[in-house]
Structure 1
Amino acid sequence: MPVPVIAVFDIGKTNKKLLLLNEQYHIVFEQQTCMQETTDEAGDPCEDLHLLIHNMQQQLTAVLTMEAFEVKAVNVSAYGASLVCINENGAPAGPLYNYLKPYPEELLNRFYTAYGDRAHFSHQTASPALGSLNAGLQLYRIRHHQLSLFSRTCYTLHLPQFLSYLFSGQTFSEMTSIGCHTGLWDFIQQQYHSWVDKEGWLDKLPLIVPTTWTTLTQVQQHALHIGVGIHDSSAALVPYLLQFHEPFVLLSTGTWCISMNPFNHEPLTTEELQQDCLCYIRYDGLPVKSSRLFAGHMHEMAVQKIAAFFGDDQQHFKELPYDPQIAAQLAQSPEFSILEMSRYENSAVAYHHLVMMLVKQQQYATRLILGRTAVKRLFIDGGFARNNIYMQLLAKAFPEMEVYAATVSQASAMGAALVIHDSWNTQPVPANLVQLKHYA
């Protein structure tokens, strides 16, 4: 008998994965692809959209022919702040612009002059001013600098919804994508911000449906429930929301370390926005107050310098045990500095000092979003959850909280499967989606 599964495309900036999960949410098949970027018309790097489409269609065709599995549904978890314009034939009308693409300063000034100063606008839309990372501002740029693309555009889809549309043929919008620092959504009025209509984009944004929505469609003689897609950061939170009902904060660590408090529904303050706080929207529509720190990137750059100075292999630091004596010695030292590596007697001391600095910054960033919530548990997942020095120091930094390293296998993909559970899975949601390790 073939095993009933859901196929989830987990589309990151670097890695693109196809995973099959069975009804117990175990991964029974995984395929990973790394793709070369291409460039847009200005020569800036961007996703090779046509290659991505081709690869995903080929991969789904291949798994549908596997006799070991019966694919019941498909969903997509993908990165945010990225939009695809499609023409009247349903094909991409232009490139998938990179959210790191430089934004013209004069256009930014024109936007904020027209629609409220940066602080007020950021407050309304729960979006720090981030240029192209505010996906709505990408639409403003198209409207004013690329009129032919604007006129060719029939619909604009957020990336997760576009990739879902490839299989369902249905155009939809969805709140986890709209609500991730896009500058499109007025969090106070609970509707699209007035600028969206004034600039002529409202009619080009499809109907908003719940994240749990599916479309039943035929793909190569297979009846499949196609999910509407979900923003990957919001998807990673879903297993935690389903398993834990007492208030918690999730610190998701990677290139960016994002602290998410799903239990803090207080409006963002101007001070919080200035310190890179924002709101995501949960799959059930509630806001999630969050803060960001570029700590994974800082860690990677510094480790390269430490390894080069002391002649160590970079892998050596992954296994380094926590040394409380080194930590006590360094407690009174000035900030870690890459420029003063000679002051450390060995690489272990330098590395402890680096992690102490990152934890100090993380303590500040995470406390920003605690608010008045009764949060007693802090879950850490991703790369730093496997770093013993980081976890020991973080537990010291939050003595009033229970600090856990959390393990969820492929959290974003699992979240995408869980939000459409009722469409494909005949079993109850398992109670042990997340594994925890306590650090005292």
Structure 2
Amino acid sequence: MSEKVTAVFDIGKTNKKFFLFDDDFQEIYRDYTKIPEIRDEDGYPTEDLEALKSWLKDVFNNILKSEKYNVKAINFSTYGASLVHLDENGNPLTYLYNYTKEIDESVIEDFYKKYGPQEDFSKKTGSPRAGMLNSGMQLYWIKMTKPEVFKKIRYSLHLPQYLSYIFTGVPVTEFTSIGCHTSLWDYEKRDYHDWVYHEKIHLILPPIVSTETSFNMNYNGYRIKIGVGIHDSSSALLPYVRSVKKSFILVSTGTWSISFNPFSDSKLTPEEVEKGCINYMRINGKAVKASRIFLGNEYRKQVEFLADYYKAPKDFHKKIDFNYDVYYELIKDFEPQFKWFNFQTENMPAKTSLNFDKIEHAYHQLMVELVLIQIDSIKTVAGDNKVYKLFVDGGFTDNNVYIQLLSHYLRNMTLRTTKSSLGSALGAAIAISDKKLNSKFLKKNYSLKKHVPFIIK
């Protein structure tokens, strides 16, 4: 007898993944591919929508034909800040413009002249000025610079909803996609910002539905529940929100280190906006205060610098564990010594100046400085709320020095690391499931590990 499963497409910028989960959310099958990028009309690299669509359908149709699995539901998790603009026949009108593509500054200036000031606008929408990364700005850009194209748009769908549309033919908008630094949503009035109505953008945005919405459909002769898709960052947060009852902060580490506080009721302050705070959105439309720092990318560049400076192997950092004696020596007369590649900090020196004979000492110095930046990011989203739980997932969970320092400096919080390569895919499966999660879910599915601060001598 075939096994009942939930299917999930988890689409990243680089890897396109497909998963099957059983009733206990255990992964029982995966497939993945990489699709070469194509170029848009300006020669800028972008997603090959047609190739992606073909892969989605081929993979799913092959699974449906399998006698081993009985697919009862399917959902979609993808990166955000990306829109597919459909004509009246449901066909894409433009390329899927890359969110790193630059927009003419005059268009952005014109927008904030009309709907600013920028600080007030960012506070209301939880969206810093970020060009195409604000998907609403992309719509304004198309309207201003490609009016003939804009006139032909029947619907604009965020990428998760477009993938759902491929299988359902039903255009919808859902909370996590419109609430993610899009400049579309006004968190104060819990509706689209006034500019969306003024520019008549709302006419091409389909009806808003809950992220938990699904359509029971006959797909190629199979009765399947098809979800409406979910933004990947909000999806990765969902298993924590569903299984942890007390307030917590999740620090998701990787190229970006993002600190999420799903329990903050306060609106963004001008100081938080200035520090780069943004809003994501939970599946129920509630704001998630988040602070982003380019920590992983900075770490990679600084480690390359240290390897070159000390003539050490490129992977030297993987063999360094936290050393209390080295740390104790550093903090006696601690001063910042690293000039950052990606960001500015208040006490950053004009250039990197190291006075250590050993690379181990320089590495500890680097990690103390980076962790202090990380802590500032965490405290920014914590605000005045007393948050006692701190979860860390992603690449830095394997960095012993990072974890030891973090637990030391945040001794008032209980620090736990989690490991799951499934993050956003698992969240997408949970989003369309009626199953309740209990407090043991993270321990069972995420290799939950508690960390105790080191003893101060």
Q: Scaled by the length of structure 1, what TM-score is found?
A: 0.95
Distance 1:254 1:46 in 2: 22
How many residue pairs end up in the alignment? 436
Shift of 1:308: 3.2
Task: Provide the residue aligned with 2:180 in structure 1.
Answer: 180
Task: Provide the residue aligned with 1:191 in structure 2.
Answer: 191
Secondary structure of 1:368's match?
Answer: helix
Distance 1:14 1:130 in 2: 22
1:135-167 deviation line (CA, Å, top 9, x unaligned) = 100000000001122122110001111111111
1:173-194 deviation line (CA, Å, top 9, x unaligned) = 0010000010001111111111
Equivalent position to 1:405, from 403, 412, 417: 417
Confirm or deny: 8 A CA contact 1:276 1:292 kept in the other structure. Answer: yes
Distance 2:197 2:64 in 1: 42
Confirm or deny: 8 A CA contact 2:243 2:437 kept in the other structure. Answer: no
Q: Structure 1 pair 60/341, CA: closer, same or farther in 2 (3 Å)?
A: farther
Secondary structure of 2:173's match?
Answer: coil
Task: Provide the residue aligned with 1:273 in structure 2.
Answer: 273
Distance 2:25 2:353 in 1: 46
Equivalent position to 1:434, from 442, 445, 449: 442
Q: Which moved more, 1:256-265 or 1:311-320?
A: 311-320
Task: Provide the residue aligned with 2:24 in structure 1.
Answer: 24
Q: Structure 1 pair 330/268, CA: closer, same or farther in 2 (3 Å)?
A: same
Task: Provide the residue aligned with 1:419 in structure 2.
Answer: 431
Q: Which moved more, 1:45-54 or 1:247-256?
A: 45-54
In structure 2, what residue type is equivalent to 1:345? D
Secondary structure of 2:441's match?
Answer: coil
Q: Structure 1 pair 196/27, CA: closer, same or farther in 2 (3 Å)?
A: same
Matched, 1:356 2:364: no
Shift of 1:267: 0.6
Task: Provide the residue aligned with 2:108 in structure 1.
Answer: 108
RMSD across aligned positions (CA): 1.6
Matches within 5 A, 1:39-438: 39-331=39-331, 332-337=333-338, 340=352, 343-422=355-434, 429=437, 431-435=439-443, 436-438=448-450
Distance 1:305 1:31 in 2: 37
Shift of 1:341: 7.1
Secondary structure of 1:267's match?
Answer: coil
Distance 2:214 2:337 in 1: 50
Distance 2:126 2:110 in 1: 20
In structure 2, what residue type is equivalent to 1:195? W
Distance 1:358 1:342 in 2: 15
1:267-300 deviation line (CA, Å, top 9, x unaligned) = 1111100110011110122111111111011111
Calculate percent identity across the aligned residue pairs.
39
Confirm or deny: 8 A CA contact 1:408 1:433 kept in the other structure. Answer: no
Shift of 1:12: 1.1
Secondary structure of 1:235's match?
Answer: helix
Structure 2: stretches of 5+ with no match in the other structure: 340-350, 453-457
Shift of 1:340: 4.7
Shift of 1:371: 1.7
1:77-120 deviation line (CA, Å, top 9, x unaligned) = 11111111011111111011111111211111110111121011
Distance 2:352 2:106 in 1: 40
Secondary structure of 1:23's match?
Answer: coil
In structure 2, what residue type is equivalent to 1:6? T
In structure 1, what residue type is equivalent to 2:259? S
Q: Which moved more, 1:301-310 or 1:174-183?
A: 301-310
In structure 2, what residue type is equivalent to 1:255? T
Distance 2:297 2:262 in 1: 25
Secondary structure of 2:84's match?
Answer: strand
Shift of 1:434: 1.4
Q: Structure 1 pair 12/270, CA: closer, same or farther in 2 (3 Å)?
A: same
Secondary structure of 1:171's match?
Answer: coil
Confirm or deny: 8 A CA contact 1:171 1:206 kept in the other structure. Answer: yes
Shift of 1:430: 5.7
Distance 2:120 2:151 in 1: 30
Secondary structure of 1:13's match?
Answer: coil
In structure 2, what residue type is equivalent to 1:388? N
Q: Structure 1 pair 227/33, CA: closer, same or farther in 2 (3 Å)?
A: same
Confirm or deny: 8 A CA contact 1:215 1:227 kept in the other structure. Answer: yes
1:212-270 deviation line (CA, Å, top 9, x unaligned) = 00011222221111100001110011111111101110001111111011111101111
Secondary structure of 1:358's match?
Answer: helix
Distance 2:437 2:261 in 1: 23
1:37-72 deviation line (CA, Å, top 9, x unaligned) = 222111122112221111111111122122221111
In structure 2, what residue type is equivalent to 1:404? R
Shift of 1:370: 0.8
Q: Structure 1 pair 274/342, CA: closer, same or farther in 2 (3 Å)?
A: closer
Secondary structure of 1:100's match?
Answer: coil
Q: Scaled by the length of structure 2, what TM-score is found?
A: 0.92
Distance 1:291 1:104 in 2: 26
Matched, 1:2 2:14: no
Distance 2:319 2:283 in 1: 36
Shift of 1:431: 4.5
Q: Which moved more, 1:63-72 or 1:79-88?
A: 63-72
Structure 1: stretches of 5+ with no match in the other structure: none
Distance 2:9 2:309 in 1: 41
In structure 1, what residue type is equivalent to 2:358? N
Shift of 1:409: 4.3
